[in-house]
Structure 1
Amino acid sequence: MIRLVLAAWTVVMLALPLRAEVPIQEITSPGGIKAWLVEEHSIPFTALEIRFKGGASLDLPEKRGATNLMTGLLEEGAGDLDARGFAQAQEALAASYSFRVHDDALAISAKFLTENRDQAIALLRTALMEPRFDPDAVERVRAQVVSGIMSDLKDPNAIASSTFNRLAFGDHPYGSSKSGTLETVATLTRDDILAAKAGIMTRDRLYVSAVGDVTAEELGLLIDALLGDLPEQGAPMPTLAPYLLTGGVTVVPFDTPQSVVVFGHDSLEREDPDFFAAYVLNQILGGGNFSSRLMTEVREKRGLTYGVYSYLMDKDQADLIMGQVASANDRVAEAISVIKDEWARVAETGVTQEELDSAKTYMTGAYPLRFDGNGPIADIMVGMQITGLPADYIATRNDKIEAVTLTDVARVAKRIIKPEALRFVVVGQPEGVVATQ
């Protein structure tokens, strides 16, 4: 059965053509739930994406990790089914469910065949509305979470990221791991898990998308059956996260042959009119491919690292421009110096027309490749909704990239690239790197 399902998914990945124009229908169910739909009837298969805004950021400080623990328990038994029974029922239906929590959202994905649609939705509804949270399941998942936390305490990449977040955001939820700490996770009770579920699974923060063999009328009935009984309102949303860091260097001693470096500073919001210019600028500066300035200067010319990159981090309550690099302890100081120089150079002189044209070509050409199946398209659509983008964004996104001019990039570079504000968090035994505070 599993082989047949995987084969079906492979076919579905090819069901929709590679394109950046998707015929989105905006629907409202009879019960008043809004959703986006792309009908694709060539394969008897549907991908459903559900998001609840707020995510792990809704945790109370002393209950940090509660939403993450609750999420991990959603498929560990529901209704009359214990964990094994739920898994067997899911496999018998050839359905797939995924439950994930992020800082700003709880994500639920479901994939099911048309012939089993009603049963698959009924089983998912049981998981969402009647989770058992049995004591043995709670302890089993708690142990998995604790194992992950302990692993992160020994991982220089995780240490660098967590240190930067703690220094940048302090007591705000962004300042600590969504998994919680060893202390908070150890004290979480079943009542805390129930409270976390009640705080986030509500209609006032619900977003839904679907792609596949389902009509608008069928989807409306489906989501009412699945989600219509949710409570109306959840816990208060988190407040804006003040950015607390200034420029400088933080060193975290760690016994490793190479140092890991996370760096960054505050940036602009996704809704800012200059966002697309900033997006293109970052692609040129360090956007993850071998032609970026950081990759050219740090790796190609000097051989200081296997990889270096930067990215715009768009969270609901904070916006940063970030980057990461790893280099040998005796060379990491030089890598940091080169990154600083490139940060300053792009702020002062902007980019060249050749760099801009190359970035546009890559970004507009790569975009349609994201739409490579029902699941990815549904995921993109629900992300658009939760971000507040219009349904025609897919069709207009490349036009916005193409509209960015050299003057736009130069202006935005001077506005958002702040060499003096760069904070480097270095985890390792770096030679020649002096902590500033």
Structure 2
Amino acid sequence: MPAPAGFSLPIQVVKAQGFTAWLAEDHSIPVVSLAWGWDGGASLDPEGQDGATSMLSSLLTEGAGNLDALAFVDAARDQAIGIGFDADRDSFDGNLRALKPALPRAVELARMAMTAPRFDEEAVARIRTRAIAGARQALESPRGRAGRAFWAAAFPGHPAGRPANGTADSIAAITVDGMKAVLGRQVHREGLLVAASGAITAAELAALLPELFGALPAGTPPALPALPAFTGFGTQVVPVSATQSSVIFGQQGIPVRDPDWEVAQVVMRVFSGGGFSSRLMKSIREERGLTYGIYAGLDSLFRGSALVGSAATANARVGEMLALLREEWQRMAEGGPTQQEMDDAISFLTGSQPLQFTDSRSIAGTLLAMRRNDRPLDWLEKRPERLRAIGRDRAAAMAARLLKPDALSVTIAGQPEGL
């Protein structure tokens, strides 16, 4: 269905003492959400301590200032305050959500977390144990092993090729000094992007910004390393004793700031991102029953992207599934989507757009993503118009540019047959 008439998200630009924030003001519910972040993330992990930034993000709310871990949690919980931090491969983000009366306390706790984390021995040990268990679970499953091998082969020697959360061995080697070093490189007054949503005026946000971020050290995080070209590696097999094989496939993507990024989104929705309506699902699941599900899309990282997909199938049918995948890859590259497929995809993308803005937290997160990707203030408002203006010839050209059957790289974890 088309987007509701008149749907818009007015965005204000708020500046105060060197800080800039985007604000979507809404007083219908007395809740305020903030999201902020920097470039960096796992790319700042010390040598041999992969996962240090991820572990740091968990420890920032495990005690700060004069509050140990339990006291910090109680202080937030008593006023229904949510505070969190997250590290990705190329970014480090923070967020808070609070009822309007609790906002001053939320700001105080978030500031303490960034400027005076405790790194208490008990908290470090507990978070390390949890991180090691998570890494083992994520990386030792067939899908995890396939993913680890895929990214390492696609981007050798680059942070994009390493697990953002580290491995069991690298997490065990992380030191408190290493995490403090990451904090010192990552969290600064400059290079900071901020977004806010909810029951707060521009004047109130202008007063809040220096309260929350004014005590951060001056300076800027190190520049992100440029994403190199995807290294094609053909087909690789990771032997795993399992009845099914996990398959990850992909190739070079396009930059996030490419003027035809949304054209690529339409193409990929038709091809592999539209659930049961996508070509890959119809061909490989519905018609052949080769997999429970198959999906592919653009995974953005380091200002670029990789086109990556995944599926799982019985070992005996891996060769058959991959042959059909390459046939569909070739067919879309040569002909692009039909007009009906495009109409359906664009209708879904425009009609579902308001679902991104159902609460203040998701709105703040969307505004932060817009800032990170250098989108203009009216990006959301004009998106349905831009999507409807995409012609089939333009989509076909993007399909030919994006999908390269001969460059498709595949990693299989299992005991595949028929290759």
What TM-score results when the alignment is normalised by the length of structure 2? 0.96
In 2: Cα distance, 1:206 partner to 1:20 partner: 29
Alignment length (residue pairs): 416
Q: Is the Cα contact below 8 Å between 1:371 and 1:377 reproduced in 2?
A: yes
Q: How well do the aligned residues superpose, as a CA RMSD in angstroms?
A: 1.6
Trace 1:19-418 onto structure 2 (pairs within 5 A).
Answer: 20-29=7-16, 31-246=17-232, 248-418=234-404
Partner residue in 2 for 1:8: none
Please tell me the residue identity of whatever aligns with 2:218: E
In 2: Cα distance, 1:184 partner to 1:158 partner: 16
In 2: Cα distance, 1:244 partner to 1:284 partner: 23
Q: Is the Cα contact below 8 Å between 1:18 and 1:371 reproduced in 2?
A: no
In 2: Cα distance, 1:353 partner to 1:120 partner: 50
Question: For 1:266-312, what per-residue CA distance to the aligned partner results, in whole angstroms no more than 9, with x for missing partners?
Answer: 02112222222211111111014111110110011111111111101
Question: For 1:357-383, what per-residue CA distance to the aligned partner results, in whole angstroms no more than 9, with x for missing partners?
Answer: 111111111112111111111110111
In 1: Cα distance, 2:112 partner to 2:46 partner: 27
Q: Is the Cα contact below 8 Å between 1:170 and 1:244 reproduced in 2?
A: no
Q: Is the Cα contact below 8 Å between 2:298 and 2:306 reproduced in 1?
A: yes
In 2: Cα distance, 1:288 partner to 1:199 partner: 40
% identity of equivalent residues: 38
Query: How many Å apart are 1:120 and its aligned residue?
Result: 1.7
Please tell me the residue identity of whatever aligns with 1:280: V
Query: How many Å apart are 1:128 and its aligned residue?
Result: 1.3
In 2: Cα distance, 1:274 partner to 1:153 partner: 34
Q: Is the Cα contact below 8 Å between 2:254 and 2:261 reproduced in 1?
A: yes
In 2: Cα distance, 1:158 partner to 1:148 partner: 11
In 2: Cα distance, 1:314 partner to 1:240 partner: 13
Which stretch shows the higher mean deviation, 390-399 or 232-241? Answer: 232-241
Please tell me the residue identity of whatever aligns with 2:162: S
Please tell me the residue identity of whatever aligns with 1:386: R
Q: Is the Cα contact below 8 Å between 1:286 and 1:294 reproduced in 2?
A: yes
- Describe the SS at the equivalent of 1:391: coil
Query: How many Å apart are 1:119 and its aligned residue?
Result: 1.5
Question: For 1:38-68, what per-residue CA distance to the aligned partner results, in whole angstroms no more than 9, with x for missing partners?
Answer: 1111222111111122211122332322111
Partner residue in 2 for 1:12: none
Q: Is the Cα contact below 8 Å between 1:18 and 1:369 reproduced in 2?
A: no
Query: How many Å apart are 1:430 and its aligned residue?
Result: 1.0
Do the aligned partners of residues 367 and 19 (structure 1) sit closer, same or farther apart at CA in structure 2, a change above 3 Å counting?
farther
In 2: Cα distance, 1:19 partner to 1:67 partner: 42
In 2: Cα distance, 1:398 partner to 1:18 partner: 11
Q: Is the Cα contact below 8 Å between 2:256 and 2:304 reproduced in 1?
A: no
Question: For 1:164-202, what per-residue CA distance to the aligned partner results, in whole angstroms no more than 9, with x for missing partners?
Answer: 100011111111111223333222221111111111111
Q: Is the Cα contact below 8 Å between 1:52 and 1:207 reproduced in 2?
A: yes
In 1: Cα distance, 2:166 partner to 2:6 partner: 40
Question: For 1:76-135, what per-residue CA distance to the aligned partner results, in whole angstroms no more than 9, with x for missing partners?
Answer: 110111101111111112111122111121121211011111112112211111110112
Please tell me the residue identity of whatever aligns with 1:23: P
- In structure 1, runs of 5+ residues without a counterpart are 1-16
Q: Is the Cα contact below 8 Å between 1:61 and 1:173 reproduced in 2?
A: no
Q: Is the Cα contact below 8 Å between 2:136 and 2:167 reproduced in 1?
A: no
Do the aligned partners of residues 227 and 252 (structure 1) sit closer, same or farther apart at CA in structure 2, a change above 3 Å counting?
same
Q: Is the Cα contact below 8 Å between 2:63 and 2:70 reproduced in 1?
A: yes
Query: How many Å apart are 1:235 and its aligned residue?
Result: 3.9
In 2: Cα distance, 1:272 partner to 1:21 partner: 24
Q: Is the Cα contact below 8 Å between 1:247 and 1:423 reproduced in 2?
A: yes
Please tell me the residue identity of whatever aligns with 1:362: F
Query: How many Å apart are 1:399 and its aligned residue?
Result: 1.4
Question: For 1:121-162, what per-residue CA distance to the aligned partner results, in whole angstroms no more than 9, with x for missing partners?
Answer: 112211111110112211111111111122223211111111
- Describe the SS at the equivalent of 1:81: coil
What TM-score results when the alignment is normalised by the length of structure 1? 0.92
